[in-house]
Amino acid sequence: MSINSRIADDQPESFAFSAESKKAIKTILAKYPKDRKASAVIPLLDLAQRQHDNWIPMKAIEAIAETLEMAEIRVLEVATFYTMFNLRPVGKYFIQLCGTTPCWLRGSDDVTRCIHDKIGIKSGETSADGKFSLLEVECLGACVNAPMVQINDDYYEDLDYETTAELIERLSRDDVPPAGSVQGRQGSQPLPGPTSLENVTSFPKTAKKTQSASGKAQKSKAQDGGV
């Protein structure tokens, strides 16, 4: 099944935000001026997608347009621009594979080859069992730990053929590995560990003073019968 043509042919006849989503929409809208409701289009697309099995039907586009008093085409423009929004069903594990220059130079072709070997899908396809979808995307902002993929909400970084194979094998068993560098790097620090600021063992004195003052204030408040 291809997800190349972005909008699904088979569409549900209706879509309505759940009570929980409506509550979230109220909170989101409160962040923007009343005449700038359109600013909430991305969070509402995200809500709709999470509510609807990781894809956004056209009826949800209509519901968002009505909620935000926007033209439907404006909502659709945003939804089609961002690869994180799916306009047709995707597999349980939606793999977004970065193929932009830093990831490519660090071996994203090996990651692509592994996914093809192990799952048998190319970019824009979903596996026959509905478990995996693959989409090659542009930079996902984790270039320092290239090459990487995003699977649903999580980033997996510092991949090569073998570690990608292991990742797929675990996901096939619904054993979701912890996100981050598969080599165990913290953030983007060097592989052997930190090489600077190694001897910082305590807070500066000013921080201690602040803590102490705050402690005194709490003690005094408690003595006064405050909470």
111 binds ligand FES (CB under 6 A): no
- 79, 148, 167, 168: which one contacts ligand FES (CB under 6 A)? 148
Tokens coding 204: 């500066």
What is the distance between the alpha carbons of residues 156 and 168, in angstroms, rounded to a whole number?
A: 11
**Contact region for ligand FES (CB under 6 A) — 4-12, 110-118, 133-141, 163-171?**
133-141
Nearest to 43 by CA among 62, 66, 68, 18: 68
Report the site for ligand FES in 40-69 (rule: CB under 6 A): none
Verify binding: residue 139, ligand FES, rule CB under 6 A: yes
Q: Mapping DSSP to helix (H, G, I), strand (E, B) and coil, where does residue 28 land?
A: helix
DSSP strand pairing (154-157 vs 125-126):
unpaired
Q: Is 171 in the site for ligand FES (CB under 6 A)?
A: no
Q: Which helix (H) or strand (E) holds 98?
A: strand 93-98
Give yes or no for residue 142 binding ligand FES (CB under 6 A): yes
Query: Which of 28-36, 44-52, 68-76, 143-151 is the region at the interface with ligand FES (rule: CB under 6 A)?
Result: 143-151
Position 137 contacts ligand FES (CB under 6 A): no
Q: Which two tokens stand for residue 215?
A: 């402690």
**Which residues between 64 and 103 bind ligand FES (CB under 6 A)?**
98, 100, 102-103
Runs of H (alpha helix) within 5-56: 19-29, 41-51
140 binds ligand FES (CB under 6 A): yes
Q: In angstroms, give the least distance from the CB of 185 to ligand FES.
A: 15
The sign of the CA dihedral 133, 134, 139, 143 is: positive
Point out which residues bind ligand FES (CB under 6 A). 98, 100, 102-103, 139-143, 146, 148
